[in-house]
Chain A
Amino acid sequence: MVVVVKKYCSITHKLVRLNGDVVFSYNEEDTYKKFIRAAYRHFETDYPKFFKMDALSKLGFLSVDILVKDAALSEKYSPEKIGLILTNGSSSLEVDEKHQETINDRENYFPSPSNFVYTLPNIMAGESAIRHTFRGENTVLISEGFDADLIFEIAGLALKNGSLDCCVCGWVEQYGNNYESLLFLIERGSTEDVHGISSEDVIFDPSFLLTTYKRLQ
Protein backbone atom coordinates (compact mmCIF):
# COMPACT_ATOMS: atom_id res chain seq x y z
CA MET A 1 0.00 0.00 0.00
CA VAL A 2 1.21 3.48 -0.83
CA VAL A 3 0.76 6.49 1.43
CA VAL A 4 0.94 9.89 -0.20
CA VAL A 5 1.38 13.45 1.01
CA LYS A 6 -1.52 15.58 -0.18
CA LYS A 7 -0.44 18.85 1.35
CA TYR A 8 1.99 20.25 3.86
CA CYS A 9 2.08 23.39 5.92
CA SER A 10 4.76 25.06 8.00
CA ILE A 11 4.87 27.96 10.42
CA THR A 12 8.32 29.23 11.28
CA HIS A 13 10.46 32.38 11.09
CA LYS A 14 7.36 34.59 10.88
CA LEU A 15 6.30 32.79 7.69
CA VAL A 16 3.39 30.51 6.96
CA ARG A 17 4.00 28.23 4.00
CA LEU A 18 1.61 25.89 2.25
CA ASN A 19 3.24 23.25 0.04
CA GLY A 20 6.42 25.30 0.29
CA ASP A 21 4.86 28.55 -0.94
CA VAL A 22 4.72 31.50 1.43
CA VAL A 23 1.06 32.31 2.13
CA PHE A 24 1.61 34.74 4.97
CA SER A 25 4.60 36.73 6.10
CA TYR A 26 4.89 39.04 9.05
CA ASN A 27 7.37 41.85 8.96
CA GLU A 28 7.15 43.32 12.44
CA GLU A 29 9.94 42.79 14.94
CA ASP A 30 7.53 41.19 17.33
CA THR A 31 7.07 38.36 19.76
CA TYR A 32 5.69 34.92 18.87
CA LYS A 33 2.51 35.88 20.67
CA LYS A 34 1.85 38.84 18.38
CA PHE A 35 2.89 36.95 15.28
CA ILE A 36 0.54 34.03 15.89
CA ARG A 37 -2.38 36.40 16.49
CA ALA A 38 -1.61 38.20 13.26
CA ALA A 39 -1.53 34.89 11.42
CA TYR A 40 -4.84 33.89 13.04
CA ARG A 41 -6.43 37.12 11.79
CA HIS A 42 -4.89 36.85 8.34
CA PHE A 43 -6.46 33.45 7.73
CA GLU A 44 -9.84 34.67 9.06
CA THR A 45 -9.87 31.71 11.38
CA ASP A 46 -12.91 32.88 13.39
CA TYR A 47 -12.66 30.58 16.39
CA PRO A 48 -12.81 32.62 19.61
CA LYS A 49 -11.59 29.66 21.72
CA PHE A 50 -8.21 30.21 20.05
CA PHE A 51 -7.49 33.07 22.45
CA LYS A 52 -7.93 30.81 25.48
CA MET A 53 -5.35 28.32 24.25
CA ASP A 54 -1.78 28.16 25.46
CA ALA A 55 1.01 29.20 23.10
CA LEU A 56 1.79 25.65 21.93
CA SER A 57 -1.83 24.78 21.21
CA LYS A 58 -2.21 28.01 19.24
CA LEU A 59 0.63 26.94 16.95
CA GLY A 60 -0.63 23.37 16.53
CA PHE A 61 -4.22 24.49 16.08
CA LEU A 62 -3.45 27.12 13.46
CA SER A 63 -1.07 24.84 11.56
CA VAL A 64 -3.73 22.13 11.32
CA ASP A 65 -6.39 24.66 10.44
CA ILE A 66 -4.46 26.12 7.53
CA LEU A 67 -3.44 22.66 6.32
CA VAL A 68 -6.93 21.14 6.16
CA LYS A 69 -8.87 24.28 5.28
CA ASP A 70 -9.73 23.39 1.69
CA ALA A 71 -9.13 19.66 1.92
CA ALA A 72 -12.84 18.80 2.47
CA LEU A 73 -11.82 15.82 4.61
CA SER A 74 -15.28 15.37 6.07
CA GLU A 75 -16.67 14.76 2.60
CA LYS A 76 -14.15 12.04 1.87
CA TYR A 77 -13.68 10.28 5.19
CA SER A 78 -15.68 9.31 8.24
CA PRO A 79 -14.51 11.18 11.37
CA GLU A 80 -13.16 8.06 13.12
CA LYS A 81 -10.81 7.43 10.21
CA ILE A 82 -9.10 10.82 10.43
CA GLY A 83 -6.15 10.94 12.81
CA LEU A 84 -3.64 13.38 14.26
CA ILE A 85 -0.14 12.22 15.10
CA LEU A 86 2.06 15.04 16.31
CA THR A 87 5.61 15.16 17.59
CA ASN A 88 7.09 17.83 19.81
CA GLY A 89 10.29 18.53 21.73
CA SER A 90 9.59 20.65 24.82
CA SER A 91 6.21 19.15 25.72
CA SER A 92 4.19 21.85 27.50
CA LEU A 93 7.17 23.29 29.36
CA GLU A 94 6.10 26.93 29.06
CA VAL A 95 2.72 26.24 30.68
CA ASP A 96 4.32 23.83 33.18
CA GLU A 97 6.53 26.67 34.41
CA LYS A 98 3.52 28.95 34.69
CA HIS A 99 1.67 26.37 36.75
CA GLN A 100 4.74 25.86 38.96
CA GLU A 101 4.86 29.62 39.65
CA THR A 102 1.33 29.46 41.04
CA ILE A 103 2.30 26.86 43.63
CA ASN A 104 5.86 27.82 44.61
CA ASP A 105 4.68 30.06 47.41
CA ARG A 106 2.15 28.72 49.92
CA GLU A 107 1.29 32.30 50.91
CA ASN A 108 0.46 33.10 47.31
CA TYR A 109 -1.01 29.82 46.06
CA PHE A 110 -3.33 30.06 43.09
CA PRO A 111 -3.23 27.03 40.74
CA SER A 112 -5.68 27.54 37.93
CA PRO A 113 -7.58 24.78 36.12
CA SER A 114 -7.63 26.73 32.86
CA ASN A 115 -3.83 26.82 32.94
CA PHE A 116 -3.33 23.29 34.30
CA VAL A 117 -5.31 21.66 31.50
CA TYR A 118 -2.67 22.85 29.03
CA THR A 119 0.15 21.14 30.95
CA LEU A 120 -0.29 18.23 28.54
CA PRO A 121 1.09 18.49 24.99
CA ASN A 122 -1.76 16.44 23.52
CA ILE A 123 -4.27 19.16 24.35
CA MET A 124 -3.19 20.85 21.10
CA ALA A 125 -4.31 17.74 19.24
CA GLY A 126 -7.57 17.71 21.20
CA GLU A 127 -8.25 21.33 20.21
CA SER A 128 -7.92 20.47 16.53
CA ALA A 129 -9.98 17.30 16.94
CA ILE A 130 -12.81 19.40 18.35
CA ARG A 131 -12.57 22.04 15.65
CA HIS A 132 -12.53 19.60 12.72
CA THR A 133 -14.34 16.58 14.26
CA PHE A 134 -11.38 14.26 13.86
CA ARG A 135 -12.30 11.16 15.88
CA GLY A 136 -9.45 8.86 14.87
CA GLU A 137 -6.18 8.11 16.59
CA ASN A 138 -4.75 11.13 18.26
CA THR A 139 -1.24 11.06 19.65
CA VAL A 140 1.62 13.25 20.76
CA LEU A 141 5.13 11.80 20.79
CA ILE A 142 8.18 13.59 22.15
CA SER A 143 11.46 13.75 20.24
CA GLU A 144 14.52 15.93 20.67
CA GLY A 145 14.09 17.49 17.24
CA PHE A 146 12.23 16.90 13.99
CA ASP A 147 12.41 13.12 13.57
CA ALA A 148 11.38 12.07 10.06
CA ASP A 149 11.70 8.35 10.81
CA LEU A 150 9.48 8.57 13.87
CA ILE A 151 6.73 10.48 12.08
CA PHE A 152 6.95 8.14 9.11
CA GLU A 153 6.83 4.93 11.18
CA ILE A 154 4.03 5.82 13.55
CA ALA A 155 1.72 7.66 11.15
CA GLY A 156 2.52 5.28 8.29
CA LEU A 157 1.66 2.18 10.34
CA ALA A 158 -1.68 3.67 11.44
CA LEU A 159 -2.67 4.02 7.78
CA LYS A 160 -1.19 0.72 6.74
CA ASN A 161 -3.01 -1.36 9.35
CA GLY A 162 -6.33 0.26 8.51
CA SER A 163 -6.79 2.23 11.75
CA LEU A 164 -6.85 5.45 9.75
CA ASP A 165 -7.63 6.48 6.18
CA CYS A 166 -6.12 9.90 6.53
CA CYS A 167 -3.83 11.60 9.03
CA VAL A 168 -2.37 14.97 9.87
CA CYS A 169 1.14 14.28 11.14
CA GLY A 170 4.33 16.18 11.80
CA TRP A 171 6.17 18.43 14.21
CA VAL A 172 4.87 21.25 16.40
CA GLU A 173 7.37 22.84 18.77
CA GLN A 174 7.19 26.03 20.79
CA TYR A 175 8.87 27.51 23.84
CA GLY A 176 8.87 31.27 24.38
CA ASN A 177 9.72 32.96 21.11
CA ASN A 178 11.07 29.81 19.51
CA TYR A 179 8.44 28.09 17.43
CA GLU A 180 8.36 25.79 14.48
CA SER A 181 5.70 23.61 12.92
CA LEU A 182 5.67 21.36 9.88
CA LEU A 183 2.59 19.24 9.26
CA PHE A 184 1.73 16.82 6.49
CA LEU A 185 -1.69 15.69 5.37
CA ILE A 186 -1.32 12.07 4.33
CA GLU A 187 -3.79 9.68 2.73
CA ARG A 188 -3.70 6.30 1.11
CA GLY A 189 -2.68 6.39 -2.54
CA SER A 190 -5.52 5.90 -4.98
CA THR A 191 -4.05 2.61 -6.11
CA GLU A 192 -1.76 -0.06 -4.74
CA ASP A 193 0.47 0.40 -7.73
CA VAL A 194 3.15 3.03 -7.27
CA HIS A 195 3.00 3.87 -10.95
CA GLY A 196 -0.72 4.57 -10.68
CA ILE A 197 -0.29 7.53 -8.38
CA SER A 198 -1.21 10.85 -9.87
CA SER A 199 1.80 12.97 -10.69
CA GLU A 200 0.81 15.61 -8.15
CA ASP A 201 1.04 13.18 -5.27
CA VAL A 202 4.26 12.80 -3.36
CA ILE A 203 5.11 9.49 -1.73
CA PHE A 204 5.19 9.69 2.06
CA ASP A 205 8.69 8.64 3.05
CA PRO A 206 11.30 9.83 5.55
CA SER A 207 13.55 11.45 2.97
CA PHE A 208 10.72 13.66 1.69
CA LEU A 209 9.87 14.67 5.26
CA LEU A 210 13.46 15.48 6.08
CA THR A 211 14.13 17.40 2.86
CA THR A 212 11.00 19.46 3.41
CA TYR A 213 12.06 20.22 6.96
CA LYS A 214 15.58 21.20 5.95
CA ARG A 215 14.25 23.64 3.38
CA LEU A 216 12.62 25.61 6.19
CA GLN A 217 15.90 26.30 7.95
Chain B
Amino acid sequence: MTKVFAGAENIISSLGFTSDENIGNIIRGKSGIVLDDSGMYSPSILPLSKVDHDRLESIRPLSADITRMERMFIASILDAGKRADIDLSSPETLFILTTTKGNIDLLDPVLQAKFGKNRIYLHSMAKVITTYFNNPNKAIIVSNACISGVLGIIYGERLIRAGKYKHIVVSGGDLMSEFIVSGFQSFQSLSEQACKPFDRDRTGLTLGEGAASIILSSSQGIFKETPVKVLGGAGSNDGNHISGPSRTGEGLLVAIQQAMKLSGLTPEDIDTISAHGTATDYNDEMEAKAFSRAGLEEVPLNSYKAYIGHTLGAAGVIEAAISLQSMKRNMLFRSAGYDHHGVSKSIHVIKENIEKEVSTCLKTGSGFGGSNAAVILQKI
Protein backbone atom coordinates (compact mmCIF):
# COMPACT_ATOMS: atom_id res chain seq x y z
CA MET B 1 0.00 0.00 0.00
CA THR B 2 1.16 3.54 -0.74
CA LYS B 3 2.86 5.23 2.16
CA VAL B 4 2.46 8.93 2.73
CA PHE B 5 5.59 10.79 3.81
CA ALA B 6 5.64 14.24 5.37
CA GLY B 7 8.49 16.67 5.76
CA ALA B 8 10.19 19.82 4.43
CA GLU B 9 8.25 21.71 7.07
CA ASN B 10 8.35 25.47 7.26
CA ILE B 11 6.92 27.68 9.98
CA ILE B 12 6.43 31.44 9.84
CA SER B 13 5.33 32.84 13.18
CA SER B 14 6.29 35.41 15.76
CA LEU B 15 9.18 33.07 16.59
CA GLY B 16 10.79 33.14 13.17
CA PHE B 17 10.61 32.34 9.48
CA THR B 18 11.92 28.77 9.39
CA SER B 19 11.32 25.62 11.42
CA ASP B 20 14.83 25.79 12.87
CA GLU B 21 14.38 29.35 14.02
CA ASN B 22 10.99 28.58 15.59
CA ILE B 23 12.18 25.41 17.30
CA GLY B 24 15.37 27.07 18.54
CA ASN B 25 13.22 29.66 20.28
CA ILE B 26 10.82 27.04 21.66
CA ILE B 27 13.74 25.04 23.10
CA ARG B 28 15.04 28.22 24.73
CA GLY B 29 11.60 28.78 26.23
CA LYS B 30 11.02 32.00 24.33
CA SER B 31 7.45 33.07 23.59
CA GLY B 32 6.54 35.24 20.62
CA ILE B 33 3.58 36.72 22.46
CA VAL B 34 4.09 40.39 23.29
CA LEU B 35 1.87 43.14 24.64
CA ASP B 36 0.71 44.98 21.57
CA ASP B 37 0.34 48.70 22.01
CA SER B 38 0.18 49.63 18.33
CA GLY B 39 -3.21 51.23 18.88
CA MET B 40 -4.67 49.09 16.12
CA TYR B 41 -6.85 47.16 18.48
CA SER B 42 -9.29 47.95 21.22
CA PRO B 43 -8.49 47.76 24.15
CA SER B 44 -5.28 49.36 23.10
CA ILE B 45 -2.97 46.98 24.97
CA LEU B 46 -3.37 43.23 24.67
CA PRO B 47 -1.07 40.24 24.24
CA LEU B 48 -0.74 39.07 20.63
CA SER B 49 1.65 36.95 18.61
CA LYS B 50 2.56 38.71 15.36
CA VAL B 51 4.84 38.01 12.44
CA ASP B 52 7.67 40.54 11.98
CA HIS B 53 6.18 42.88 9.39
CA ASP B 54 9.38 44.41 8.04
CA ARG B 55 11.01 41.04 7.60
CA LEU B 56 7.97 39.71 5.77
CA GLU B 57 7.91 42.76 3.50
CA SER B 58 11.59 42.39 2.71
CA ILE B 59 11.19 38.92 1.20
CA ARG B 60 12.21 39.04 -2.45
CA PRO B 61 11.15 38.63 -5.17
CA LEU B 62 7.56 39.31 -4.15
CA SER B 63 5.86 42.15 -5.93
CA ALA B 64 3.83 44.90 -4.29
CA ASP B 65 0.52 43.51 -5.51
CA ILE B 66 0.81 40.50 -3.20
CA THR B 67 -1.18 40.90 0.02
CA ARG B 68 0.26 40.32 3.48
CA MET B 69 -1.55 36.98 3.75
CA GLU B 70 -0.45 35.81 0.30
CA ARG B 71 3.08 36.86 1.14
CA MET B 72 3.06 34.62 4.23
CA PHE B 73 1.75 31.65 2.26
CA ILE B 74 4.21 32.14 -0.61
CA ALA B 75 7.20 32.71 1.69
CA SER B 76 6.32 29.57 3.62
CA ILE B 77 5.90 27.43 0.50
CA LEU B 78 9.13 28.83 -1.01
CA ASP B 79 11.08 27.71 2.05
CA ALA B 80 9.40 24.28 2.20
CA GLY B 81 10.05 23.82 -1.52
CA LYS B 82 13.80 24.23 -0.92
CA ARG B 83 13.76 21.36 1.56
CA ALA B 84 12.59 18.76 -0.92
CA ASP B 85 13.35 17.81 -4.47
CA ILE B 86 9.93 18.76 -5.80
CA ASP B 87 8.58 20.49 -8.88
CA LEU B 88 5.91 22.84 -7.53
CA SER B 89 4.73 23.61 -11.07
CA SER B 90 4.03 19.98 -11.93
CA PRO B 91 0.48 18.71 -12.51
CA GLU B 92 1.45 15.88 -10.14
CA THR B 93 1.73 18.41 -7.31
CA LEU B 94 -1.39 19.74 -5.59
CA PHE B 95 -1.68 22.65 -3.19
CA ILE B 96 -4.03 22.36 -0.21
CA LEU B 97 -4.49 25.73 1.49
CA THR B 98 -6.08 25.99 4.90
CA THR B 99 -7.34 29.24 6.39
CA THR B 100 -10.29 30.63 8.27
CA LYS B 101 -10.28 34.16 6.88
CA GLY B 102 -7.49 34.51 4.28
CA ASN B 103 -7.27 38.11 3.01
CA ILE B 104 -9.81 39.34 5.57
CA ASP B 105 -7.85 42.59 6.07
CA LEU B 106 -9.08 43.61 2.60
CA LEU B 107 -12.48 44.41 4.13
CA ASP B 108 -10.72 47.56 5.23
CA PRO B 109 -11.60 50.21 2.61
CA VAL B 110 -8.01 51.41 2.12
CA LEU B 111 -6.60 47.94 1.46
CA GLN B 112 -9.62 46.98 -0.62
CA ALA B 113 -9.00 49.97 -2.89
CA LYS B 114 -5.41 48.80 -3.36
CA PHE B 115 -6.00 45.11 -4.07
CA GLY B 116 -9.64 44.98 -5.23
CA LYS B 117 -12.62 43.34 -3.57
CA ASN B 118 -12.29 40.13 -5.53
CA ARG B 119 -9.19 39.13 -3.55
CA ILE B 120 -11.29 38.63 -0.43
CA TYR B 121 -12.61 35.43 -1.98
CA LEU B 122 -10.46 32.56 -0.79
CA HIS B 123 -10.41 31.04 -4.26
CA SER B 124 -8.98 34.30 -5.64
CA MET B 125 -6.29 34.28 -2.98
CA ALA B 126 -5.54 30.64 -3.79
CA LYS B 127 -5.17 31.50 -7.48
CA VAL B 128 -2.58 34.17 -6.70
CA ILE B 129 -0.59 31.55 -4.79
CA THR B 130 -0.82 28.74 -7.34
CA THR B 131 -0.11 31.19 -10.15
CA TYR B 132 3.00 32.38 -8.35
CA PHE B 133 4.29 28.80 -8.42
CA ASN B 134 2.95 28.12 -11.95
CA ASN B 135 0.99 25.19 -10.59
CA PRO B 136 -1.73 24.10 -13.04
CA ASN B 137 -4.09 22.50 -10.47
CA LYS B 138 -6.92 24.21 -8.67
CA ALA B 139 -5.88 24.35 -5.02
CA ILE B 140 -8.13 22.65 -2.49
CA ILE B 141 -9.13 25.25 0.10
CA VAL B 142 -10.17 24.06 3.55
CA SER B 143 -12.01 26.68 5.59
CA ASN B 144 -13.31 24.84 8.58
CA ALA B 145 -12.54 27.07 11.56
CA CYS B 146 -9.64 26.04 13.78
CA ILE B 147 -9.41 22.46 12.51
CA SER B 148 -8.73 23.59 8.92
CA GLY B 149 -5.02 22.80 9.16
CA VAL B 150 -5.43 19.30 10.59
CA LEU B 151 -8.10 18.55 7.98
CA GLY B 152 -5.76 19.76 5.22
CA ILE B 153 -3.16 17.18 6.29
CA ILE B 154 -5.83 14.47 6.49
CA TYR B 155 -7.17 15.18 2.99
CA GLY B 156 -3.63 15.36 1.62
CA GLU B 157 -2.86 11.97 3.12
CA ARG B 158 -6.01 10.42 1.62
CA LEU B 159 -5.46 11.88 -1.84
CA ILE B 160 -1.87 10.63 -2.02
CA ARG B 161 -2.80 7.21 -0.65
CA ALA B 162 -5.53 6.97 -3.30
CA GLY B 163 -2.91 7.74 -5.95
CA LYS B 164 -4.50 11.01 -7.07
CA TYR B 165 -1.31 13.08 -6.68
CA LYS B 166 2.37 12.34 -6.08
CA HIS B 167 3.08 15.38 -3.96
CA ILE B 168 0.84 17.71 -1.98
CA VAL B 169 1.88 20.96 -0.36
CA VAL B 170 -0.34 21.57 2.67
CA SER B 171 -0.05 25.20 3.64
CA GLY B 172 -2.01 26.93 6.38
CA GLY B 173 -2.22 30.63 7.11
CA ASP B 174 -4.21 33.24 8.99
CA LEU B 175 -3.67 36.92 9.73
CA MET B 176 -3.94 39.08 12.78
CA SER B 177 -6.61 41.65 12.03
CA GLU B 178 -8.94 43.98 13.82
CA PHE B 179 -11.72 41.81 12.41
CA ILE B 180 -10.54 38.75 14.33
CA VAL B 181 -9.44 40.54 17.48
CA SER B 182 -12.75 42.41 17.86
CA GLY B 183 -14.73 39.24 17.27
CA PHE B 184 -12.92 37.21 19.91
CA GLN B 185 -13.19 40.18 22.27
CA SER B 186 -16.93 40.26 21.76
CA PHE B 187 -16.90 36.62 22.89
CA GLN B 188 -14.86 37.66 25.92
CA SER B 189 -12.51 34.80 25.21
CA LEU B 190 -9.19 36.71 25.09
CA SER B 191 -6.76 36.51 27.98
CA GLU B 192 -5.28 39.72 29.43
CA GLN B 193 -1.92 37.98 29.77
CA ALA B 194 -0.21 35.43 27.53
CA CYS B 195 -2.44 32.35 27.46
CA LYS B 196 -1.87 29.45 29.89
CA PRO B 197 -3.15 26.21 28.32
CA PHE B 198 -4.34 23.55 30.80
CA ASP B 199 -3.29 25.75 33.72
CA ARG B 200 -5.40 26.41 36.79
CA ASP B 201 -5.13 30.16 36.26
CA ARG B 202 -5.93 30.24 32.55
CA THR B 203 -8.31 33.02 31.55
CA GLY B 204 -8.65 32.67 27.80
CA LEU B 205 -6.80 32.53 24.54
CA THR B 206 -4.15 34.67 22.90
CA LEU B 207 -4.44 35.28 19.17
CA GLY B 208 -1.59 34.68 16.80
CA GLU B 209 -0.85 34.88 13.10
CA GLY B 210 1.37 32.91 10.82
CA ALA B 211 1.73 30.35 8.09
CA ALA B 212 3.25 26.91 7.79
CA SER B 213 3.79 24.35 5.08
CA ILE B 214 4.34 20.62 5.09
CA ILE B 215 5.04 18.63 1.95
CA LEU B 216 3.35 15.26 1.66
CA SER B 217 4.60 12.77 -0.89
CA SER B 218 4.36 9.17 -1.93
CA SER B 219 8.12 9.28 -2.40
CA GLN B 220 10.46 9.21 0.58
CA GLY B 221 13.42 10.14 -1.55
CA ILE B 222 12.42 13.73 -2.33
CA PHE B 223 13.05 14.96 1.21
CA LYS B 224 16.42 16.41 2.13
CA GLU B 225 15.91 15.40 5.79
CA THR B 226 14.36 12.08 6.76
CA PRO B 227 10.56 12.59 6.69
CA VAL B 228 7.89 10.96 8.88
CA LYS B 229 4.78 9.10 7.76
CA VAL B 230 1.21 10.31 8.00
CA LEU B 231 -0.72 7.22 9.08
CA GLY B 232 -4.26 8.52 8.99
CA GLY B 233 -6.75 10.89 10.46
CA ALA B 234 -10.39 11.81 10.77
CA GLY B 235 -12.77 14.60 11.59
CA SER B 236 -15.89 14.68 13.73
CA ASN B 237 -18.57 17.00 15.02
CA ASP B 238 -19.90 17.44 18.57
CA GLY B 239 -23.44 17.94 17.28
CA ASN B 240 -23.92 19.99 20.38
CA HIS B 241 -23.30 23.75 20.12
CA ILE B 242 -21.98 26.10 17.41
CA SER B 243 -19.66 28.16 19.60
CA GLY B 244 -19.10 26.17 22.78
CA PRO B 245 -17.14 22.93 23.04
CA SER B 246 -18.80 19.72 24.14
CA ARG B 247 -18.96 19.21 27.91
CA THR B 248 -18.12 15.53 27.57
CA GLY B 249 -15.35 15.46 24.97
CA GLU B 250 -17.43 13.01 22.95
CA GLY B 251 -16.78 14.64 19.55
CA LEU B 252 -13.00 14.83 19.95
CA LEU B 253 -13.00 11.27 21.29
CA VAL B 254 -14.73 10.10 18.10
CA ALA B 255 -12.05 11.79 15.95
CA ILE B 256 -9.18 10.34 18.02
CA GLN B 257 -10.60 6.82 17.99
CA GLN B 258 -11.29 6.98 14.27
CA ALA B 259 -7.73 8.25 13.61
CA MET B 260 -6.27 5.39 15.67
CA LYS B 261 -8.45 2.87 13.90
CA LEU B 262 -7.45 4.13 10.44
CA SER B 263 -3.81 4.05 11.54
CA GLY B 264 -4.08 0.56 13.01
CA LEU B 265 -2.87 1.79 16.41
CA THR B 266 -3.97 1.52 20.04
CA PRO B 267 -3.51 4.16 22.79
CA GLU B 268 -0.31 2.42 23.95
CA ASP B 269 1.32 3.24 20.62
CA ILE B 270 1.01 7.01 21.06
CA ASP B 271 4.20 8.67 22.41
CA THR B 272 3.03 12.25 22.53
CA ILE B 273 0.02 14.44 21.82
CA SER B 274 0.10 17.89 20.26
CA ALA B 275 -3.18 19.13 21.68
CA HIS B 276 -5.24 22.12 20.59
CA GLY B 277 -5.06 23.71 24.07
CA THR B 278 -6.48 27.17 23.47
CA ALA B 279 -6.49 27.98 27.20
CA THR B 280 -10.16 28.79 27.40
CA ASP B 281 -11.85 27.18 30.38
CA TYR B 282 -14.19 24.98 28.41
CA ASN B 283 -11.90 23.93 25.59
CA ASP B 284 -9.08 22.64 27.76
CA GLU B 285 -11.51 20.82 30.04
CA MET B 286 -13.19 19.21 27.03
CA GLU B 287 -9.85 18.06 25.63
CA ALA B 288 -8.75 16.62 28.98
CA LYS B 289 -11.94 14.57 29.13
CA ALA B 290 -11.52 13.32 25.57
CA PHE B 291 -7.86 12.29 26.12
CA SER B 292 -8.79 10.58 29.36
CA ARG B 293 -11.68 8.69 27.77
CA ALA B 294 -9.42 7.68 24.88
CA GLY B 295 -7.00 6.01 27.34
CA LEU B 296 -4.33 8.67 26.78
CA GLU B 297 -4.05 10.17 30.28
CA GLU B 298 -0.42 9.10 30.69
CA VAL B 299 0.76 10.31 27.30
CA PRO B 300 2.91 13.47 27.48
CA LEU B 301 1.09 16.29 25.77
CA ASN B 302 1.54 19.95 25.08
CA SER B 303 -0.11 22.97 23.59
CA TYR B 304 2.05 25.36 21.59
CA LYS B 305 -0.39 28.24 21.95
CA ALA B 306 1.63 30.03 24.67
CA TYR B 307 4.58 30.26 22.25
CA ILE B 308 2.84 31.51 19.12
CA GLY B 309 -0.78 32.19 20.07
CA HIS B 310 -3.81 30.66 18.42
CA THR B 311 -3.19 30.87 14.69
CA LEU B 312 -6.69 29.64 13.74
CA GLY B 313 -6.71 28.02 10.28
CA ALA B 314 -2.91 27.81 10.30
CA ALA B 315 -2.71 26.22 13.75
CA GLY B 316 -3.03 22.61 12.62
CA VAL B 317 -0.22 22.92 10.08
CA ILE B 318 2.06 25.04 12.29
CA GLU B 319 1.65 22.70 15.25
CA ALA B 320 2.03 19.55 13.13
CA ALA B 321 5.25 21.08 11.77
CA ILE B 322 6.48 21.65 15.34
CA SER B 323 5.54 18.03 16.12
CA LEU B 324 7.54 16.86 13.12
CA GLN B 325 10.52 18.68 14.55
CA SER B 326 9.87 17.15 17.96
CA MET B 327 10.02 13.70 16.36
CA LYS B 328 13.12 14.47 14.28
CA ARG B 329 14.95 15.88 17.28
CA ASN B 330 13.67 13.27 19.75
CA MET B 331 12.66 15.99 22.12
CA LEU B 332 9.38 16.75 23.85
CA PHE B 333 8.87 20.47 24.22
CA ARG B 334 7.57 22.10 27.37
CA SER B 335 3.94 23.15 27.27
CA ALA B 336 4.54 26.84 27.98
CA GLY B 337 2.22 28.62 30.40
CA TYR B 338 1.48 25.46 32.36
CA ASP B 339 2.40 25.82 36.03
CA HIS B 340 -0.50 24.37 38.03
CA HIS B 341 -2.73 21.58 36.80
CA GLY B 342 -6.06 23.09 35.89
CA VAL B 343 -8.30 20.44 34.35
CA SER B 344 -10.40 17.74 36.00
CA LYS B 345 -8.53 14.78 34.47
CA SER B 346 -4.96 13.84 35.34
CA ILE B 347 -3.56 14.28 31.85
CA HIS B 348 0.22 14.52 31.51
CA VAL B 349 1.10 18.07 30.44
CA ILE B 350 4.83 18.40 29.65
CA LYS B 351 6.55 20.64 32.23
CA GLU B 352 10.05 20.81 30.76
CA ASN B 353 11.88 19.89 27.59
CA ILE B 354 12.78 16.19 27.67
CA GLU B 355 15.07 14.29 25.33
CA LYS B 356 13.22 11.11 24.51
CA GLU B 357 12.58 8.82 21.57
CA VAL B 358 9.39 10.17 19.96
CA SER B 359 8.07 7.75 17.35
CA THR B 360 4.36 8.40 17.14
CA CYS B 361 2.50 11.65 17.59
CA LEU B 362 -1.21 12.38 17.74
CA LYS B 363 -2.16 15.89 16.59
CA THR B 364 -5.64 17.13 17.43
CA GLY B 365 -7.70 20.24 16.83
CA SER B 366 -11.14 21.50 17.78
CA GLY B 367 -13.05 24.54 16.71
CA PHE B 368 -16.19 26.57 16.30
CA GLY B 369 -19.07 24.77 14.70
CA GLY B 370 -18.39 21.84 17.05
CA SER B 371 -15.69 20.48 14.78
CA ASN B 372 -12.80 18.21 15.81
CA ALA B 373 -10.01 16.47 13.92
CA ALA B 374 -7.14 14.14 14.74
CA VAL B 375 -4.21 12.89 12.68
CA ILE B 376 -1.34 10.54 13.51
CA LEU B 377 2.30 10.98 12.46
CA GLN B 378 4.91 8.27 12.86
CA LYS B 379 8.62 7.90 12.28
CA ILE B 380 9.70 5.71 9.41
Contact = CB atoms under 8 A, between A and B. Distances in A.
A105 B100 CA distance: 24
Nearest to B122: A142
Contacts of A154: 140, 155
Interface in B202-257: 232, 234-243, 250-251, 254
A212 B81 CA distance: 40
B42 to A, nearest CB: 7
Contacts of A120: 100, 143-145, 368-369
B134 interface: no
A198 interface: no
A165 B232 CA distance: 17
A129 interface: yes
A139 B182 contact: no
Contact of B237 (A97, A135, A142, A147): A135
A206 interface: no
A122 interface: yes
Interface in B348-380: 367-371
Interface residues of B, number: 57
Nearest to A109: B42
Given A111-B183, A157-B159, A162-B262, A143 B138 contact: yes
A95 to B, nearest CB: 11
Contacts of B100: 120
Contacts of A16: none
B145 A122 contact: yes
B235 A126 contact: no
A198 to B, nearest CB: 26
B19 interface: no
Contacts of B123: 89, 142-144
Nearest to B102: A91
Interface in A151-198: 153-154, 157-158, 160-163
Interface of A: 79-80, 83-84, 89-91, 93, 96-97, 99-100, 102-104, 106, 109, 111-113, 116-117, 119-123, 125-127, 129-130, 132-144, 147, 150, 153-154, 157-158, 160-163
17 contacts: A84-B237, A89-B123, A91-B143, A93-B120, A97-B107, A99-B182, A111-B186, A120-B143, A129-B239, A132-B239, A135-B236, A139-B151, A142-B121, A142-B142, A153-B159, A153-B164, A157-B158
